[in-house]
Structure 1
Amino acid sequence: MVRTSFSYFNPVTFLFPELLSNGKIDLTKTVDYVAIVIHILFKIIIVALFILELKNFFFEQLMLMIIILTSLNFWVVKNYTGKKLIGIVWWNCREEQDVWYFEKVNKLYPLNKYCQYYFWYCLYVHEIFLFFLLIFLAVSQKWKQFIIILIPTFENFSQTLIYSHAIKDNEIFRYLQDLTEYRLRRSIKCQFTFNLKQLPFKLQF
């Protein structure tokens, strides 16, 4: 059974909570607009800068700017938006053993479910866009640009992997996982049924 618990998400009322006319829900008290803007700001700047620099391409300069912006994006997500939007703080300890620590700070930062959806949507959509951009550059045989865009792709993938591993109530991640398993089981069942129909004899159980 596939869960669709986030299907009611409305990006319009999320971005403009004043459109909620019933007066029972006031998202302006819990939505952190600063964290929302910062969470996607560096991602947009990286993509826009890369696209604009394709016409006047200077490998060294573009590589340096992308590395700086990617590092800033990693730091912001790890130390600010991850804590504000989904309440997760993580760090690595190398004193004796290489141990990763994940801590929930929900008590300090009251979470809003729309902020959590926004956090995950931005990570997933950004990763999908960068992946298709990599495919386009590979098909076009623009290998220098391909190497540059690999940097934010791996950075965003690492963030997605870390937070997906850290949080247990990630509904979107569970939905995608269940949907993949459901489609895989359905595909195997359909293929098995099709193969049985092609047999010259009928099987009786």
Structure 2
Amino acid sequence: MNTDDTVLEFGSENEPRVKKRVIHPVACFFHLFFRVSALVVYLVCGLTTAGFVSSFIAILLLLSADFWTVKNVTGRLLVGLRWWNKVDDDGKSTWIYESRKPAAMKKHPVKPAESRIFWVSLIVCPLIWLFSLFGLIFGLNVKWLAVVIVALILNSANLFGYIRCKFTSRKQIGSLATKYIGSQIFNSMAGGTQEETNTPVSSETF
């Protein structure tokens, strides 16, 4: 992929250029807001006599907003990763897992605080929904079963996608390092007469 990476620094237009622990506060907020709100609405409505249909719709809307936000916005801004699906002219579907280009990563490095916010919430929320699923099954409460299953699927899809992105980026770094070391050894054995060749950029970067 040859598209240029774009990083939006929300809320920092009029502030001095200083090192910050969080440079995307709005992205961090919405990364947590939708998924936490869905859990809160589910827990509150499960303990009260609130209308099931309205609660069901509200939770699904929050889950959908969370899935779209995490998949398309916060993953790219907070950790430099993204995953998406491409359908070619023949109708073949391909899942693509990408990491930010090394040059862009040096210019806009991932902040440890933002990375922790991203990964902790990405892992913890599916676990909470999973425990809720077991609770409903053992408690023979099928009323909220559909909501919890949908929540678990959407949360797990983002978790799986970004884990694939993470491992793919590490494999790329290892592959590039292996190719570079191998080429250096080969050139040394050949007497250093061969010109160094550039390793092509992987298609799994953006």
User: Which interval holds the TM-score relative to the shorter structure?
Assistant: 0.5 to 0.7
The residue aligned with 2:140 is: 141
- Aligned equivalents of 1:154, 1:142: Cα separation in 2: 19
1:155 aligned residue: 154
- d(CA) in 2 for partners of 1:170 and 1:66? 33
1:46–1:66 contact (8 Å) kept in structure 2: yes
Structure 1 position 86 matched with structure 2 position 85: no
Say if 2:40 is the partner of 1:42: no
CA contact (8 A) 1:91 1:102 kept: yes
Structure 1 residue runs of 5 or longer lacking an equivalent are 1-25, 172-205
Aligned in 2, Cα 1:49/1:136: closer, same or farther, shift over 3 Å?
same
On the 8 A contact 1:30/1:110 being kept in 2, the answer is: no
C-alpha contact 1:131 1:153 (8 A) present in aligned 2: yes
Partner of residue 10, structure 1: none
Give the residue type in structure 2 aligned to 1:138: I
Aligned residues of 2:82 and 2:162 also touching (Cα < 8 A)? no
| Counterpart for residue 73 of structure 1 | 66
- Which whole-Å CA distance do the structure 2 matches of 1:170 and 1:46 have between them? 31
Could you list the runs of 5+ residues in structure 2 that have no partner in the other structure? Answer: 1-17, 171-206
AA of the residue aligned to 1:36? C
Residue identity opposite 1:49 in structure 2:
V
Which residue does 2:109 correspond to in 1?
110
The 2-side partners of 1:49 and 1:170 are apart by 36
Percentage of identical aligned residues: 23
SS in 2 for 1:144: coil
Letter in 1 for 2:81: I
d(CA) in 1 for partners of 2:167, 2:87 = 25
Report deviation, 1:41: 0.6
| Matched residue count | 146
Match of 1:191 in 2: none
**1:100-139 residue CA offsets vs partner (Å, 9 max, x unmatched):** 1233235174311232222111111111111111112222
In structure 2, the CA distance between the partners of 1:169 and 1:112, relative to structure 1 (3 Å rule), is: farther
The runs of at least 4 aligned residues of structure 1 exceeding 3 Å deviation read none
In the superposition, the TM-score normalised over structure 1's length comes to 0.64
Q: Which residue of 2 aligns with 1:165?
A: 164
Range moving further from structure 2, 67-76 or 107-116: 107-116
Match of 1:58 in 2: 51
CA distance in 1, matches of 2:67, 2:131: 21
Question: Does structure 1 conserve the Cα–Cα contact (< 8 Å) formed by 2:82 and 2:165?
Answer: no
Across the aligned residues of Structure 1 and Structure 2, the Cα RMSD in angstroms comes to 2.3
Contact preservation (8 Å) 1:127, 1:153: yes
**Contact 1:53 1:62 (8 Å CA) reproduced:** yes
Kept after mapping to 2: 8 A contact 1:30/1:111:
no
Distance 2:65 2:111 in 1: 25
